[in-house]
Chains A and B, each alone.
Chain A
Amino acid sequence: MTEHEPLLEVRDLSVAYGSDRGPVVAVDHVDFELARGEFLAIVGESGCGKSTLLFALTRLLGPPFSGEIIGGQIIFRGRNMVTLSERQLRSIRWRELAVVMQSAMNALNPVLTVEAQMRDACKAHSEMSDDEIRRRSEEVLRLVAIDPMHLRSYPHQLSGGMRQRAMIAMALLFTPELVVMDEPTSALDVVAQRSLIVQIKELQAKLGFAVIFVTHDMSLVSHFSDRLMVMYAGQIAELGKTRQVFDKPLHPYTSGLLEAFPSIHGPNLRLTGIPGSPPNLARPPAGCRFSPRCPHVTAICREREPHLVDVEGDAVRCVLYNGRAA
């Protein structure tokens, strides 16, 4: 595998959940690449499919989520994750690809010390000796600025921010190539949020892993991610360089989102948000899925589903840009 090959290639990925009224497609033909050491943020509202996409990438679908990959490929370091067996996946998980879950309070075992949980992970995925495990555990805790004495602490003895950092420390036990994070900061205060994300960036610079960071708060990643993917109703609405997306949003949904939250700087303008609410994926609207809420809607939007088009390196799904496709 050469340096120029992407770390992760997602091709035409679709995921569906079973329901009484037939399959509900939560991730619809998603297609993107991730380079080594890249920081990709995925943003969207609840129900847009961002968490499903993340569970699919890590092959964590299945009970109780009961979702199923119904098409597409996930090529991670040359292997198609979709077709790997549980056994093969075990050798990849933690060692090459680690996950940091949303709520550290629920993701950590409340009746085991941090040390015991790290030991479990090490025993399951390596042949390390007890001594090595201990040394490595101390090392990763120091990486996230937690005193190694907390190895003997139970989760409830740590503050919310420390718990979340301990989760990140566990994810780094084997120095993976890719760390996938599902809203790792959503339970934290703004001050703790910012310090955690600054720390993730520092670790990334030091260790060189790539990050996929799923969040509903796009302002949070505005200064941190390399690229930004905006999802709406199971599809990519826009994907581009973070600064470009913020400075020159292309999709009407992206610009709507950017105008939906107040700022602490500049004039205190009256905002309108986006009218209506996200669609029910069991019955997505015909044509463009954003058309019922879109201020620029035309007749054609309600009939034909737009494709992703390339505009100056950004991908955007909107007929406004169809004439300008490269």
Chain B
Amino acid sequence: MSDVLLRTEGLTRHFRIGGLVSGQTLHAVDDVSFTIGRSEIVALVGESGSGKSTIARLLARVYRPTSGEIYFEGRPISRLRRRRQRLAYSGDVPMVFQDPYSSINPAYRVAHGIARGVKLHRRDLSRAERRREVERVLDAVGLVPGRELARKFPYELSGGQRQRVGFAQALAFRPKLIIADEPVSMLDVSIRIGVLNLMSELREREGVSFLYITHDVASARYIADRVLVMYGAHLVEEGPAEEVLQRPKHPYTQLLLSAVPDPRAPLGISDTSDVGEPPKVVDPPEGCRFRARCPYRIATCDTVTPLLRELGTARRVACHVATADDSADDFARLETRRRSAEV
């Protein structure tokens, strides 16, 4: 694997909810460790409420971790004391937001937002250089000619074009890692793929890494090198995208994949109408958080929280049942064992 750009170690974020006396703790992110390499696209997938966006905000330093640490280029970011250092970090790791209709200031021309970022993060540039940089990044995100687009107001742009402006703003900082939180979910189906392709191109041309946060597993497979799957604030599976999505080992990943509608698949509804709900992780007891919905549950699942463990090359799964051999056989074997136990 390419060398590590960002690494988290036991990253945890809890929120206090309720009053002082009846106070409870919501576990948004629990003990999450992962790495992102240079020029790597990592997808973070999971249902809403699983903690994906909290991770984005932790990486962007919107929240401070309750415990754990984020290392960027080997240095812990909690030690960034001086304003200059913190500014440098937010220039290295900018965010692109979900809603291109509310994340761009409608009162200013496109150039304004980009130039402001450049002024803040790259103070050595002259006025003329700044203008050239604005045009360069607009061209780079496919808003050509950049010179003309820079003079437009957001209302003159379509949703896809606005989201490209979001990427241009991030790109103007000369970032090393762009955190993209559901960047295409608000866009029309016919233009989504253009924005996904843009992310791949930026990786190729500018060498930027991406953390692509999404609930759309198919788009994660389309652009990502590696996939992280979250469930109930835990990282439950991790590995190369193709591996994880073609041969999922964690039962939740399997459920997620079986629910993806795929018109290219032959007809035939597997009528597993799972009525389970994703958990709200408030003061969780010990044990696997997926166990209530899991068809392969064993006694250990109720008492021991499964930790991520290596299964095969570059893959990690947090499940007591999954093993390194082909998961399908494995689960099938377990299923028969469970059935015979019932009888």
Contact = CB atoms under 8 A, between A and B. Distances in A.
A99 B40 CA distance: 46
Given A260-B193, A262-B222, A222 B275 contact: no
A79 interface: no
A274 B160 CA distance: 12
Contacts of A191: 47, 255-256, 259, 274, 276
Contacts of A277: 158-161, 188, 190-191
Contacts of A195: 259, 273-275
Given A262-B219, A273-B190, A194 B242 contact: no
Contact of A260 (B47, B192, B245): B192
Interface in A183-220: 189-195, 198-199, 201-202, 216-220
A261 B267 contact: no
A264 B257 contact: yes
Interface string B213-224: 001111101100
B189 A45 contact: yes
A243 interface: yes
B278 interface: yes
A143 to B, nearest CB: 13
B19 interface: no
B74 interface: no
B107 interface: no
Contacts of B342: none
A86 B159 CA distance: 38
Contacts of B196: 262
A102 to B, nearest CB: 14
B139 to A, nearest CB: 17
A63 interface: no
Interface residues of B, number: 44
Contacts of A161: 277
Contact of B193 (A160, A199, A268, A272): A272
B293 to A, nearest CB: 9
Nearest to A144: B275
B66 interface: no
A218 B261 CA distance: 9
B145 interface: no
A223 B267 contact: yes
B273 A198 contact: yes
Given A45-B188, A45-B189, A246-B263, A261 B218 contact: yes
Contact of A273 (B194, B261, B273): B194
B193 A271 contact: yes
Contacts, number: 128
B274 A219 contact: no
A265 B277 contact: no
Given A264-B218, A271-B222, A277-B160, A257 B261 contact: no
Q: Which of B189, B222, B245, B256 has the most CB of A within 10 A?
A: B189
B283 to A, nearest CB: 18
Given A190-B260, A191-B255, A264-B262, A257 B277 contact: no
Nearest to B255: A191
A287 interface: no
Nearest to B217: A264
A46 interface: yes
Nearest to A160: B48
B193 A189 contact: no
A218 B263 contact: yes
Interface in B195-216: 196-197, 215-216
Interface string A244-278: 00100000000011101111111010111111011
B341 interface: no
A282 interface: no
Contacts of B264: 263, 265-266
24 contacts: A45-B190, A193-B261, A194-B259, A195-B273, A195-B274, A198-B273, A218-B263, A219-B262, A220-B261, A222-B261, A223-B263, A223-B269, A260-B192, A262-B193, A264-B257, A264-B260, A265-B264, A270-B197, A271-B197, A273-B191, A273-B193, A275-B194, A277-B159, A277-B190
> A-B pairs with the 3 shortest C-beta distances?
A222-B263, A273-B193, A262-B222
Interface of B: 47-48, 158-161, 188-194, 196-197, 215-219, 221-222, 242, 245, 255-257, 259-265, 267-269, 271, 273-278
